Structure 1
Amino acid sequence: MNPIEGHLPLRSPLHDILAPTSIAVVGASADPTKRGYKAMVGLIKDGYRGEIYPVNPKADMILGVKAWPSVADIPGNPALALICTPAATIPGLIGECGRHGIKGAVILASGFGEVGDAGARLDQAMMAEARAHGVRIIGPNTSGVFNLHHRLNLLALDNVKPGNIGIVSQSGNMLLSLALEAQHNGQVGFSTYIGPGNQSDIGFNDYLRYLGEDEHTRVATLYVEGFRDGRKFLQVARDVTAMKPVVVYKSGSTEQGQKAASSHTGALAGSYQMTVDLLRQSGVSVVQYSDEILPVAEGLGLLQKACGKRVAVIADGGGQATIASDRLAETGLTLAELSDETRAKLREILFPQASTANPVDVAGTSDANPSLLATCMEIVASDDNVDSVFLVGMFGGYSLRFAESLLGDEMRGAEAMVDLSHSTSKPLVVYSLYAPVKPPALRRLHEAGLPVYTSIEHAVRVLAALGERGEYLAQCAVLKPEKQTQATENGRTLLRQAQAQGRDLLEFEAKTLLAEHGIRVPVERVVRRVDELGEIAREFGAQPLAMKVVSKDILHKSEAGGVKLNLVGEAALRGGFDQIMASARVYDANADIEGVLVTPMAEKGLEVIIGMMRDPIFGPVLMFGLGGVFVEILEDVAFRAIPLSHHDAAAMVEQIKAKKLFEGVRGASAINKGALVELLLSVSRIVEAYPHIAELDMNPVIAYSDGYAVVDARIIVEEPQ
């Protein structure tokens, strides 16, 4: 079972809507400036095979097609209506469509929830009609849809080639940009496009599910500004990515997810990084730059995956080989260690000055015979240490650069590469500086389904996406269900009492709940009166102690002067007690102070933070990173949606940029990463067992070579409903 459970239900109802056998165009027009005109042109020009029913009370014919005065007058029963009329008309038209049996409506008009209260009321009226009559809404405020394999082009885009890339984009201009880029590429085509608009009804998770089922779509590509139901999207994404690649470009972070929060975790959650981490946890390939969207979608659509991240580079120039190596390292890929047998085979065909280490530099050997590059690719592809092969240089341009007589050799090389792509499961990716001029050898590769890129950076990003997808699918194949934990009666009582009193758990209560589920917490005592300190001093002896204020009204104890360290003996404890009480009263004269918490000082180690919050978009999310006072400054953290798998927890620890500190520096011992992984899993299980935990902060947790110490813990309780 996947850590976030979710299985695609029965066939999506969007198939009937997005591949309709007939369509009504409400607001169809003969005016070229109107969307109702452009939609009619798109349908007619692309040869839509179904019946078209223009609806316009002022026209008998529109572009040679008989028009009807109203939806009710249409003689047929179309599955879809494109509504091109103003916002105020929409609720009534949705009711009319529903009564006529139309099951889906694409609403272009703006002026709904995005413009304020009046628009929100209009949106509510529209959705009331839609629910009453069983009409599904695409939009409103959508740029439109197309389904090129069914010749349904409601955007009237010219020269858009049918293909296997499905797109959902909250930006119509982004779709236009991708379409123009595809035209320039010449080989990339699209299956379905949907502009989700305001997502008043149908959301990203519904569209992703449809693309996952669509036989014409090999890769789903999404431009996302904000999710409506991120938790559901992650569930659907896990199912779809098991079948086909999903590429997402996320612009910024959701406004709802950026709410102010009272804990370190809350302050960092809702970030762009959190969204990216959660998407990748579900197998999504996230691209950072908009110009990577189409190259990565094309590469994944054609090649699907690599078994790992070990890349063999073959180059006909040292400079570009170095650039490729740099970019590979930056994206987490590695240069494959070629076997002795592979290097011996390369030496047999290359000049003596050629480098047979990875990257392989042919050093001029290919100048007189470019097809030799294909031979090199075949040799390294047969190496078990290689997961992908990357050809870098001027292949395709030898006949342009040196002599026309080399064209035959280049074409033979291209055919050999095509044959190799059919005989190996390892991705073959080509960067050529001649790609922009599209010489014959490169056109042959493109036609055969081998991606050719004009940018080393784009090619490397594709290789990274292929490797990430392969590793994700491999770990899913061996994923085991994680054990669950049950809430204890004592734990439930602590939360019920805090809820009844309108407060959060105090630090010692939070640690008590953690200890209930096997998390190691230090010995500590709550002191409410100064005369109790003598007994505390005798109990702990000469070891240095820490003292912290206990108050439901003081969250950040250090800021309030509520922490004293390295206290030894009764006199020091009494002095610390008095100073804490005085400082706390200055900080908040009305604070309800329960006393102080006394515990032995933790030994020095590496401070980390573990936290959880219930994000309004994605639900419960766990965070891990460097801890202490620098957590919000450095923001070196990783996020995963709860529940976690063992792989998720281990990946969080490895994701931290400062993870070299975990290995020990300047004589320090390496920390026990396995203990941190188990701690993360324990916290994940606790959050599942106690749904009333709204936020949880353990900061710092001090990591050691033999375990960890939970120095501070806070649990914020969900307000009673």
Structure 2
Amino acid sequence: MAAETTRPTLAEALFAPRSIALVGASDDTAKTSSRPLQYLRRAGYDGAIYPINPGRKTVLGEPAWPALAELPGVPDHAFILTPTEDAVDAAAECARIGVSVATILASGFSDADEEGRKLLARLKALRAASGLRILGPSSLGAINLHRRTVITANAAFAEPDLPRGGTFVASHSGSLLGGLVSRGKARNLGFAGLVSVGNEIDLSLGEICAATLDDPEITGYMLFLESIRHADDLRAFALGAAARGKPIVAYKLGRSAVAAELALSHTGALAGEDDVAAAFLADCGIARIFNFETLLEALPLVRRVSARRPGAGAPRIGVVTTTGGGAAMVVDELAMRGIEVVAPSPETHARLGAAGVKAGHDRITDLTLAGTRYDVMKAALDTLLGAPEFDAIIAVIGSSARFQPDLAVKPVIDSGAHSKPLAAFVVPEAPDALNMLAAAGVPAFRTPESCADAMSAALLRRPAAAPAPSSRRVASRPTRQLDESEAYALLAKLGVSHAPAVAIQIDAQGPFDLPFAYPVAVKILSAEIAHKTEIGGVVLNVGSEAELKAAMRRIAENARARSHAASRVLVQPMTAGLGEFLLGYRVDPDAGPLVLLAAGGIYTEIYRDRSIRLAPVDLDTARSMIADLAISRIFRGYRNRPHGDMEALARAIVALSRLAREESVQVVDAEINPLIVKPVGEGVIAVDALVALARREDT
């Protein structure tokens, strides 16, 4: 066998191979394993194709080879179509002869059963011992439409004349690619390439996308994610895409409210997998959308919008329409996502009038039937796009888009090059109008929900991509919990104030010379008990030494009744303020360290009012976390209440988040609940704390 003169790059082997082996190719057109050869020939792939089938001399009329070792040259890419039990042997042969990339179609490589674990172990050992890169298993393949490389078994690619474009799609779901391709063709939205990443035992979604970054035919990325895997690769890709001005839009499954395991703290439940994923994607500058249709429609808008600055106010949108009802639907959807539609200023309204545009001075600039005239709609768009009070403009187009599509969308297309983002929502079912807008590069939406979703993703939920907050590897498995007194000592080192506290032996007789006055709170002091109230380990408003002794006895009895040993209590003065927050820190096994702010005290479990960022954070980010919470409005003079010390709260968030870089100790879970907020100038104070340290072998 003759080897190729040069080894291809990863991107070349995946998406532009000079030769492809189809291991297990079938001659039966009814079988999945016959599809790749059909698709490659139909697409016009001009490289060498080697069907491998030991039982046939020809496959679909083309010469076949009995084994990889019998080929006249080493293929760049092998698509392994054999059943699961034979796929590992085929991959081993690929490694032996020097194939660069093997894509494995078969499933069954799972940790769920013993046989699956053995197969996975064999593949991983094979990868470690060779230069073979593996896509999958359970991958439906890799496609480059510009190079006519259609290495897939997905039935959707039987579709002829698929439009080509600048978007690259990477998906955890292989079958999902077919949905995007068919929907894209209906909207004349083309793709540059697509990949089904499967189980990611070797090549990750992030690494694959990163390999394509310098392809000039790729202008943006769509991701369909089931979870956040290989977070470092995904972040590196996102940073590379941001540096090249190539936007990323992601749709992620798993938004249900099924909570994460409670773990040590409430933070574990509040920071569920999807919440952490949202924080991670935002930190990477990836625009996350929540409507599947938006995945197809959002990139043109995201491409036009700069990343959001920390602390930036809510975006302001102007809406111009020929149909008030259609525009009202968009306004409602935007409002539910925290985006305000604002009326033109008096100056802008006057300029509209001077341009011959008659419209009421309302939030919606309704042109009525006059807006179906080119000159009226164009004058209105030009005026609104030039107005400083708007961050973006939405043109809502009515029935004329269906019956006179060229006339209805022409003013929008002609205004689309303005520096300010302009998008269109087309109210009727008007595919021709949508296709014209798409061809002109104007963001266009078929539903008010997807229009608002894309606006929110582009303008509200997409900060600039940031390098990894922590360069230090941080463990995620806890081994021991600090008692509350030890936790306070760590907080003090970080710069977080806590209430005065005195530890007392439960069998001590007194008298007790407390450094603070009664009334006091008495709590069991133990590194074994995370939630003290659940075992009757807390007594509040203790007003005298006699009551203190009684409280200590009661706590000891409650602990014994629940099989806990109790030798000490912690005594603190009763502390009041304007309200309470929960401030937490946690190391996620995929995304890494994160910090969480939520409603505190008894409200933590009632309201899921929380904000999450990757740790550590700076002051601006901490302030934005506070602004995210609905409850924070109470501390900003709501109904003449005193203002809380929000700057002190922001400093506390920053301080706790520094655990991500703390060298003296590795904390995997920490929580202050409640963190009492005092009036402006008086700070914040912790009155309960939990801290769990990482296992020694993870350090």
Q: Summarize the alignment of residues 417-432 of structure 1 with structure 2, pairs less than 5 Å apart.
A: 417-422=412-417, 424-432=418-426
Cross-structure match for 1:140: 137
Cross-structure match for 2:186: 184
8 Å Cα contact 1:253/1:270 also seen in 2? no
Q: Does 1:377 pair with 2:351?
A: no
Cross-structure match for 1:714: 690
Cross-structure match for 1:107: 104
Name the amino acid aligned to 2:535. A
Q: 1:554 aligns with which of 513, 529, 546?
A: 529
8 Å Cα contact 1:350/1:362 also seen in 2? no
- Distance apart, 1:206 and its partner CA: 1.3
Cross-structure match for 1:270: 272
Cross-structure match for 1:699: 673
CA 1:638–1:172 in 2, change beyond 3 Å: closer, same or farther?
A: same
Name the amino acid aligned to 2:412. M
Task: Give the Cα separation in 2 of the matches to 1:255 and 1:545.
Answer: 38
Other structure's SS at 1:700 match:
strand
Cross-structure match for 1:492: none
Q: Does 1:362 pair with 2:367?
A: yes
Task: Give the Cα separation in 1 of the matches to 2:639 and 2:338.
Answer: 26
Task: Give the Cα separation in 2 of the matches to 1:481 and 1:25.
Answer: 40
8 Å Cα contact 1:257/1:615 also seen in 2? no
Q: Summarize the alignment of residues 318-717 of structure 1 with structure 2, pairs less than 5 Å apart.
A: 318-336=324-342, 338-350=344-356, 354-367=359-372, 369-394=373-398, 396-397=400-401, 400=403, 411=406, 414-422=409-417, 424-439=418-433, 443-468=435-460, 472-473=463-464, 503-529=480-506, 531=508, 533-537=510-514, 539-541=515-517, 543-588=518-563, 591-690=564-663, 691-706=665-680, 707-717=683-693
Instruction: Spell out structure 1 runs of 4+ moving beyond 6 A.
Output: 253-257, 479-485
Per-residue CA distance 1:400-423 (angstroms, 9 max, x = gap): 3xxxxxx6xx7567444334223x
Other structure's SS at 1:332 match:
coil
Task: Give the Cα separation in 2 of the matches to 1:458 and 1:577.
Answer: 59
Unaligned runs of 5+ in 1: 1-10, 401-406, 486-498
Cross-structure match for 1:494: none
- Distance apart, 1:210 and its partner CA: 2.9
CA 1:335–1:28 in 2, change beyond 3 Å: closer, same or farther?
A: same
Name the amino acid aligned to 2:538. V
CA 1:120–1:483 in 2, change beyond 3 Å: closer, same or farther?
A: closer
8 Å Cα contact 1:511/1:713 also seen in 2? yes
CA 1:686–1:444 in 2, change beyond 3 Å: closer, same or farther?
A: closer
Other structure's SS at 1:150 match:
coil
Task: Give the Cα separation in 1 of the matches to 2:467 and 2:130.
Answer: 44
Cross-structure match for 1:174: 176
- Distance apart, 1:38 and its partner CA: 0.6
Name the amino acid aligned to 1:563. V
CA 1:240–1:646 in 2, change beyond 3 Å: closer, same or farther?
A: farther
- Distance apart, 1:249 and its partner CA: 1.6
Task: Give the Cα separation in 2 of the matches to 1:437 and 1:110.
Answer: 38
Per-residue CA distance 1:116-158 (angstroms, 9 max, x = gap): 2112211221232233221111111112221111111123441
8 Å Cα contact 2:168/2:193 also seen in 1? yes
Identity fraction in percent: 28
CA 1:514–1:381 in 2, change beyond 3 Å: closer, same or farther?
A: same
Other structure's SS at 2:328 match:
helix
- Distance apart, 1:532 and its partner CA: 6.2
Aligned residues between the structures: 671
CA 1:254–1:641 in 2, change beyond 3 Å: closer, same or farther?
A: farther
Higher mean C-alpha displacement, 314-323 vs 223-232: 223-232
- Distance apart, 1:700 and its partner CA: 0.7
Per-residue CA distance 1:217-241 (angstroms, 9 max, x = gap): 2221121223332354345434434
Q: Does 1:90 pair with 2:64?
A: no
Cross-structure match for 1:4: none
Per-residue CA distance 1:369-424 (angstroms, 9 max, x = gap): 244212210111111222211111327438x3xxxxxx6xx7567444334223x2
Q: Does 1:35 pair with 2:9?
A: no
8 Å Cα contact 1:306/1:426 also seen in 2? no
Task: Give the Cα separation in 2 of the matches to 1:211 and 1:650.
Answer: 37
Higher mean C-alpha displacement, 358-367 vs 611-620: 358-367
- Distance apart, 1:80 and its partner CA: 0.6
- Distance apart, 1:711 and its partner CA: 0.7
CA 1:122–1:437 in 2, change beyond 3 Å: closer, same or farther?
A: closer
| Structure that is richer in helix per residue | 1
Higher mean C-alpha displacement, 174-183 vs 237-246: 237-246
Task: Give the Cα separation in 2 of the matches to 1:552 and 1:483.
Answer: 28
8 Å Cα contact 2:506/2:552 also seen in 1? no
Task: Give the Cα separation in 2 of the matches to 1:306 and 1:420.
Answer: 22
Task: Give the Cα separation in 2 of the matches to 1:257 and 1:609.
Answer: 17
Task: Give the Cα separation in 2 of the matches to 1:547 and 1:595.
Answer: 10
Per-residue CA distance 1:19-77 (angstroms, 9 max, x = gap): 21221111122210223321001100000121111222233333343222211111123
CA 1:451–1:228 in 2, change beyond 3 Å: closer, same or farther?
A: closer
Task: Give the Cα separation in 2 of the matches to 1:180 and 1:483.
Answer: 41
Name the amino acid aligned to 2:40. L
Higher mean C-alpha displacement, 241-250 vs 674-683: 241-250
8 Å Cα contact 1:611/1:623 also seen in 2? yes
Unaligned runs of 5+ in 2: 1-7, 309-313, 473-477
Cross-structure match for 1:310: 316
Task: Give the Cα separation in 1 of the matches to 2:655 and 2:158.
Answer: 53
- Distance apart, 1:712 and its partner CA: 0.2
8 Å Cα contact 1:245/1:304 also seen in 2? no
* TM-score using structure 2 length: 0.89
Other structure's SS at 2:482 match:
coil
Per-residue CA distance 1:466-502 (angstroms, 9 max, x = gap): 3137x623xx6xx8999999xxxxxxxxxxxxx9xx7
Higher mean C-alpha displacement, 579-588 vs 223-232: 223-232
CA 1:333–1:157 in 2, change beyond 3 Å: closer, same or farther?
A: farther
Higher mean C-alpha displacement, 507-516 vs 662-671: 662-671
Higher mean C-alpha displacement, 634-643 vs 358-367: 358-367
CA 1:511–1:677 in 2, change beyond 3 Å: closer, same or farther?
A: same
- Distance apart, 1:689 and its partner CA: 0.5
Task: Give the Cα separation in 1 of the matches to 2:164 and 2:387.
Answer: 37
Higher mean C-alpha displacement, 272-281 vs 507-516: 272-281
8 Å Cα contact 2:316/2:392 also seen in 1? yes
8 Å Cα contact 2:291/2:449 also seen in 1? no
Task: Give the Cα separation in 1 of the matches to 2:16 and 2:467.
Answer: 39
Cross-structure match for 1:46: 43
Cross-structure match for 1:200: 201
